[in-house]
Chain A
Amino acid sequence: NAGVMQNPRHLVRRRGQEARLRCSPMKGHSHVYWYRQLPEEGLKFMVYLQKENIIDESGMPKERFSAEFPKEGPSILRIQQVVRGDSAAYFCASSPGASTYEQYFGPGTRLTVT
């Protein structure tokens, strides 16, 4: 039973480019959470999604960031026109349902903006 998969593991983008981060939840999990970890800081909640629905995006920056979790395929976190301050590790977690408190984390994608 594979765990949460994230790709790419490392992503380098120049300022102004777009970054797409992918997360495949564990088999049977229909809930996905995205977190951002800035250097030397803890993880900060960004967004919570179910299949085809955004449930809570209270942690998402208002501009340039978007997330989706389509009916088929992985969840995507998209960052448009990246800036140096977007450099961070982005972690995805999944859970089987809304009533399940335990989340399983992926290995993260480390985004570097040059």
Chain B
Amino acid sequence: AQSVTQLGSHVSVSEGALVLLRCNYSSSVPPYLFWYVQYPNQGLQLLLKYTTGATLVKGINGFEAEFKKSETSFHLTKPSAHMSDAAEYFCAVSLNTGGFKTIFGAGTRLFVKA
């Protein structure tokens, strides 16, 4: 069965520090991988996605993620955290089941300290 595991339900970093949010997946077929951000009481906004091709993908707001097939990982990074990055982040995998059902991780809440 396909699944997504996000390590760490809460991550706290100082402003200006590196952000690293971990995501591992299991999938029997090549996955499409996504990172979404959710601000309080709002919907999901797509940060970035991996489908095929280059394994390092760049997204909005300075975030990037690297697909590592051998490690079944898709960790999200940002070199320097801003206060505005404080939010919930979800890693997700889309599977073609005759339509693309998306499986989400449990989420990681990012706190940014001044």
Question: A-side interface residues toward B, CB under 8 Å?
Answer: 31, 33, 35, 41-45, 48, 50, 55-56, 91, 93, 95, 98-103, 105-108, 110
Q: CB < 8 Å: which of B45, B96, B101 contacts A33?
A: B101
Contacts of A31 in B (CB 8 A): 99
Q: How large is the interface on B (under 10, 10 to 19, 20 to 34, 35 or more residues)?
A: 20 to 34
> Number of A-B pairs whose CB atoms are under 8 Å?
61
Residues of chain A within 8 A (CB-CB) of B102 are: 33, 35, 43, 45, 93, 103
- The verdict on A48 contacting B41 (CB below 8 Å), with A41-B107, A42-B90, A42-B106 known, is no
Q: A44-B104, A45-B103, A107-B43 are in contact. List 4 more A-B contacts (CB 8 A).
A: A31-B99, A41-B106, A100-B100, A105-B43
Chain B residues 29-65 with CB under 8 Å of chain A are 32, 36, 41-46, 49, 51
A residues less than 8 Å from B49 (CB atoms): 101-102
Chain B residues lying within 8 Å of A108, measured Cβ to Cβ, are 42-43
Known: A42-B107, A43-B104, A45-B101. A101 touches B44 (CB 8 A): no
A108 to B41, CA, bound (A): 9
